[in-house]
Chain A
Amino acid sequence: MFHRSLRTVVALVLALVLGWSFAQTLVIAQGTDAVSLDPHDVTDSPSATVTSHIYETLFELTPDGDIVPSLATGADVSDDGLTWTITLREDVVFHDGTPLTAEIVKGSMDRFLDPENAFAFVFLLARVDSIDVVDDYTVQFNLGTTFAPFMAHLTHSTTAIVLPAAVEEFGEDFGENPVGTGPFQFASWDRGSRIDLVRFDDYWGELPGIEGLAFLAVPEDTTRMALVETGEAHVAVRVPPADVPRLNAADGVTVENVSSLRTIYIYFNHTMEPFTDRTVRQAINYAVNKEEIAEFIFGGAVRPSDAAISPGIFGYTPVGKYEFDPERAQTLLAEAGFPEGFDTTLYCPTGRYLRDIQTCEAVQSQLAEVGVNAAIETLEWSAYLDFTRRPAEENTVPMAMLGWGTVTGDADYGLFALFHTSEHVPDGSNRSFYSNAIVDALLDEARTTPDESLRLQLYEDVLEILREDAAWLFMHSETQLVAVRDGIEGLVIHPTERVLALTTSMD
């Protein structure tokens, strides 16, 4: 009798201990649910964060900005820069047991590039003409024109390698049935609420120290912070700056502050008076106190820009800021023929970027000090995108705030699309209609030359000219405020705005 009850007790204790160790699940609270788990179809950070744990890319961008092999072991480029031969790891298996081969890489890339699929990020690899399988573990990318940042683009999470057989099998529902090669495999998805992943024990690399990983979708800031305070979540992204001191004072929670590759700026419409005049653009840059905005609106959690791209990006060089100097601003305005200032309109999104409308209001009041009266127009994001990308002759936006994340970590991504003349909206992304033949030529050359030190020099020249030209009202680069509970090791808050728990362990 005693024997039996003892056995029960032992079994119970064992079950508890085992159950406890199996329940090692890290819970990350994000602002929104993933849209899709098909990496080729993903355009937002919350989705990319989840797919980055399930899928892998050929190369990887480290948080320090280096490009290192992931599924690839290396790359060889031909002398003319048109042929890239990439060798693959031979020990990789997908979550369903299929080994990774060159055939699969080609199939995945062909799917990504297929115009029929109309994936939004297809432009990343637009220069790829064709892909050849050389042998089981070697693929060859044939480019139409030389493209220096090619490897950087292969680090983008949307170029991840998917299993063509799984795409075939699940068809339209592939986005809910991911099969990748990453350290976690998909377990379940309660739409609008929670995604669960479990560790993939046949993973080729270092196994994570946790058994499971869950992503919660919590749109309300206060609720998301409460989750990490009570310990229901271990990590909460997008901490409101005002909550940082309170959370840091709370037991067991620390707010990490990591810089992001996203630059926030207010652009001028370079086809519209008076912003066609460089003196006016410079005056506005002198009139705005970015340091004060960084301190009082963001509690120091942003970094005033000293270039059109953020630190951590290949090609970044600090070229200097327009220091706050309202008198200089007034002198320049008078020089440009506006001694009394002028009226204009500042378009601003609400809730898209950290404290966006508050920043616009601060800019508005500082500009008013030098006589520039900017009426603020806010539009809901969808309408905002639509309104700011009209062709020059129909475009009525004189100044507008936007943000740009250089997620490939290469200056080409951040500068070409925003400043090259061929990129004017609606064909491209240059909403400011900035056009400068020298900048165009420098960007073209930097995009095609393989010489890294020459590229760095070319980008420095571009950044200098953009500053001198006062191409934008330069604002700041964002930082990511992420609340993390104590006892979590190896969590990476990546500058591309993804929280990665690939090698995480917890007490």
Chain B
Amino acid sequence: MFQYAVRRVLISIPSIFGVILIVFLMVRLAPGDPALLLAGEFATEATIERIRERFGLDRPTHEQFGIFIANLAQGDLGRSTRTNRLVTADLRQFFPNTIELAAAAIVIAFLVGIPAGIVAAIKQNTWADLVVMFGALIGVSMPVFWFGLLAILYFSVQLGWFPVAGRGTWQHLVLPAFSLGIGSMAIIARMTRSSMLEVLSQDYIRTARAKGVMSNSVVLKHAFRNAMVPVITVGGLQFGTLMAGAVLTESVFTWPGIGRLLVDSILARDYPVVQGAVLLIATSFIVINILVDALYAVIDPRIRYD
């Protein structure tokens, strides 16, 4: 197990390096010039040149990459060309907010998705199944920003239950977490249902029923645990997606997360921040995947990493 984990971490290093290289080149290949954006519509060529020098943008790309990697090795991601702030300070401030939102969203998604999926599986082809699956279909196809705006208009403006936007109290978290989690909730419900159906048709479930185990116990002890492996996989991947993909929710609810930071810096061609944010998101995605794989062994003792 330990060896496996070490191997996985080692394998992920080239992936992260690849991500860095691709992002580094892509932001520079995209049309648009950070110095020009900083200088504005009315700056002179001389000012633009000086801004390029100030941020080292006048050097050849391979040289810039060398400097970036050398600084990265010392934990230095540079300063934002837009705000002149340390990129590490930006990431430290924005990333926990995104984790907070994504964690709340995935908890809601599991808490609602799993019971809904189990009910749908047990009551297959009844109205309960139909309701859950119809809800899941809507949940997965609804655009998050649309749902978010409707939620604001109804729950904040009309009913006044929750604040419109911002971050601070738990009330601030409810609407964005629910909006962000609703897609994952639907996917988890569908996954739980199909996985449960598969397990419930297995021989050992029939055996358990035949020897007179209570129906609830069959479902919760024998079937549920075995059905969880694919659900955990999907849930873990969803968590990674939520962290990287919270940008729409973050914009609608003015949540100061890393998605918004990333989009703002892409629009401003703020190379250091784009690089830092993508590096962080890619790394956390990889880490989550490793953790999810490790979790299999905990849930299913047959899975061994030797």
In the complex the two chains form, what is the Cα distance from A297 to B257 in whole Å? Answer: 34
Given the contacts A118-B50, A382-B31, A382-B33, A227 and B165 also touching, CB distance less than 8 Å: yes
On chain A, the residues within 8 Å of B165 by CB distance are 216, 218, 223, 226-227, 232
As a 0/1 sequence over residues 38 to 63 of chain B, the CB contacts with chain A under 8 angstroms (1 = contact) are: 11111111010011011000000000
A113 → chain B closest CB, angstroms: 12
Q: Once the chains bind, are B256 and A192 in contact (CB under 8 Å)?
A: yes
Q: Once the chains bind, are A120 and B167 in contact (CB under 8 Å)?
A: no
Given the contacts A115-B50, A122-B47, A226-B164, A385 and B37 also touching, CB distance less than 8 Å: yes
On chain A, the residues within 8 Å of B156 by CB distance are 226, 230
Smallest CB gap from A427: residue in B: B45
Interface-facing stretch out of B78-86, B133-141, B293-301: B78-86
Interface-facing stretch out of A35-43, A196-204, A320-328: A35-43
CB contacts between A and B, total, < 8 Å: 141
Q: Once the chains bind, are A380 and B267 in contact (CB under 8 Å)?
A: yes
As a 0/1 sequence over residues 250 to 273 of chain B, the CB contacts with chain A under 8 angstroms (1 = contact) are: 011111110011001001110000
Given the contacts A120-B39, A223-B152, A381-B267, A426 and B51 also touching, CB distance less than 8 Å: no
As a 0/1 sequence over residues 322 to 339 of chain A, the CB contacts with chain B under 8 angstroms (1 = contact) are: 000000000000000000
For window 171-212 of chain B, which residues contact chain A by CB distance below 8 Å? none
On chain B, the residues within 8 Å of A115 by CB distance are 50
Given the contacts A220-B254, A226-B164, A227-B165, A192 and B261 also touching, CB distance less than 8 Å: yes
A394 located at the interface, meaning its Cβ lies under 8 Å from any Cβ of chain B in the complex: no
On chain A, the residues within 8 Å of B83 by CB distance are 35-36, 175
On chain A, the residues within 8 Å of B51 by CB distance are 118, 120
As a 0/1 sequence over residues 153 to 180 of chain A, the CB contacts with chain B under 8 angstroms (1 = contact) are: 0000000000000000000110110000
A195 → chain B closest CB, angstroms: 12
B217 located at the interface, meaning its Cβ lies under 8 Å from any Cβ of chain A in the complex: no
Q: Once the chains bind, are A387 and B254 in contact (CB under 8 Å)?
A: no
B72 located at the interface, meaning its Cβ lies under 8 Å from any Cβ of chain A in the complex: no
In the complex the two chains form, what is the Cα distance from A379 to B152 in whole Å? Answer: 31
Smallest CB gap from A413: residue in B: B42
On chain B, the residues within 8 Å of A389 by CB distance are 36
On chain B, the residues within 8 Å of A386 by CB distance are 31-33, 36
B: number of interface residues (CB 8 Å): 53
Q: Once the chains bind, are A123 and B269 in contact (CB under 8 Å)?
A: no
In the complex the two chains form, what is the Cα distance from A41 to B38 in whole Å? Answer: 9
Q: Once the chains bind, are A192 and B260 in contact (CB under 8 Å)?
A: yes
On chain A, the residues within 8 Å of B153 by CB distance are 222, 226
Given the contacts A383-B31, A389-B36, A429 and B41 also touching, CB distance less than 8 Å: yes
In the complex the two chains form, what is the Cα distance from A380 to B41 in whole Å? Answer: 14
On chain A, the residues within 8 Å of B34 by CB distance are 382
On chain B, the residues within 8 Å of A227 by CB distance are 164-165
On chain B, the residues within 8 Å of A38 by CB distance are 84
Q: Once the chains bind, are A220 and B36 in contact (CB under 8 Å)?
A: no
Q: Once the chains bind, are A385 and B47 in contact (CB under 8 Å)?
A: no
B147 → chain A closest CB, angstroms: 12
A51 → chain B closest CB, angstroms: 14
B94 located at the interface, meaning its Cβ lies under 8 Å from any Cβ of chain A in the complex: yes
Q: Once the chains bind, are A118 and B54 in contact (CB under 8 Å)?
A: yes
Q: Which of A120, A232, A383 has the most CB of B within 10 A?
A: A120
As a 0/1 sequence over residues 84 to 114 of chain B, the CB contacts with chain A under 8 angstroms (1 = contact) are: 1100001001100000000000000000000
Q: Once the chains bind, are A380 and B32 in contact (CB under 8 Å)?
A: yes
A461 → chain B closest CB, angstroms: 23
A498 located at the interface, meaning its Cβ lies under 8 Å from any Cβ of chain B in the complex: no
Q: Once the chains bind, are A190 and B256 in contact (CB under 8 Å)?
A: yes
A203 → chain B closest CB, angstroms: 28
In the complex the two chains form, what is the Cα distance from A232 to B169 in whole Å? Answer: 14
B160 located at the interface, meaning its Cβ lies under 8 Å from any Cβ of chain A in the complex: yes
Smallest CB gap from B258: residue in A: A192
B67 located at the interface, meaning its Cβ lies under 8 Å from any Cβ of chain A in the complex: no
A193 located at the interface, meaning its Cβ lies under 8 Å from any Cβ of chain B in the complex: yes
Q: Once the chains bind, are A223 and B157 in contact (CB under 8 Å)?
A: no
As a 0/1 sequence over residues 119 to 139 of chain A, the CB contacts with chain B under 8 angstroms (1 = contact) are: 111110000000000000000
In the complex the two chains form, what is the Cα distance from A415 to B51 in whole Å? Answer: 25
On chain B, the residues within 8 Å of A382 by CB distance are 31-34, 36-37, 267-269
In the complex the two chains form, what is the Cα distance from A2 to B262 in whole Å? Answer: 60
On chain B, the residues within 8 Å of A381 by CB distance are 32, 37, 267
For window 219-262 of chain A, which residues contact chain B by CB distance below 8 Å? 219-220, 222-223, 226-227, 229-230, 232
Which of B38, B50, B93, B164 is A232 in contact with, Cβ under 8 Å?
B164
A115 → chain B closest CB, angstroms: 6
Q: Once the chains bind, are B254 and A385 in contact (CB under 8 Å)?
A: no
On chain A, the residues within 8 Å of B40 by CB distance are 43, 120-121
A505 → chain B closest CB, angstroms: 25
Q: Once the chains bind, are A120 and B43 in contact (CB under 8 Å)?
A: yes
Q: Once the chains bind, are B37 and A35 in contact (CB under 8 Å)?
A: no
As a 0/1 sequence over residues 38 to 62 of chain A, the CB contacts with chain B under 8 angstroms (1 = contact) are: 1001010000000000000000000
On chain A, the residues within 8 Å of B32 by CB distance are 380-383, 385-386
Given the contacts A118-B47, A120-B39, A120-B47, A379 and B31 also touching, CB distance less than 8 Å: yes
Which of B53, B152, B252, B269 is A118 in contact with, Cβ under 8 Å?
B53
In the complex the two chains form, what is the Cα distance from A203 to B33 in whole Å? Answer: 41
A217 located at the interface, meaning its Cβ lies under 8 Å from any Cβ of chain B in the complex: yes
A465 located at the interface, meaning its Cβ lies under 8 Å from any Cβ of chain B in the complex: no
A64 → chain B closest CB, angstroms: 25
A191 located at the interface, meaning its Cβ lies under 8 Å from any Cβ of chain B in the complex: yes
Given the contacts A123-B43, A429-B42, A223 and B37 also touching, CB distance less than 8 Å: no
A194 located at the interface, meaning its Cβ lies under 8 Å from any Cβ of chain B in the complex: yes
On chain A, the residues within 8 Å of B167 by CB distance are 190, 193
Q: Told that A175-B85, A222-B152 touch, could you supply 16 new A-B pairs with CB distance under 8 A? A: A35-B83, A120-B51, A121-B43, A172-B84, A191-B90, A191-B93, A192-B264, A193-B167, A217-B256, A219-B260, A222-B149, A223-B253, A230-B160, A230-B163, A380-B267, A385-B36
What residues of chain A have their CB less than 8 Å away from a CB belonging to chain B? 32, 35-36, 38, 41, 43, 115-116, 118-123, 172-173, 175-176, 190-194, 216-220, 222-223, 226-227, 229-230, 232, 379-383, 385-387, 389, 402, 404, 417, 426-429
Could you list 5 A-B pairs, sorted by A, with CB under 8 Å?
A: A116-B50, A118-B51, A123-B47, A190-B256, A223-B164
The 8 closest A-B pairs by CB, nearest first: A382-B32, A192-B256, A118-B50, A383-B31, A193-B256, A120-B39, A383-B32, A429-B42
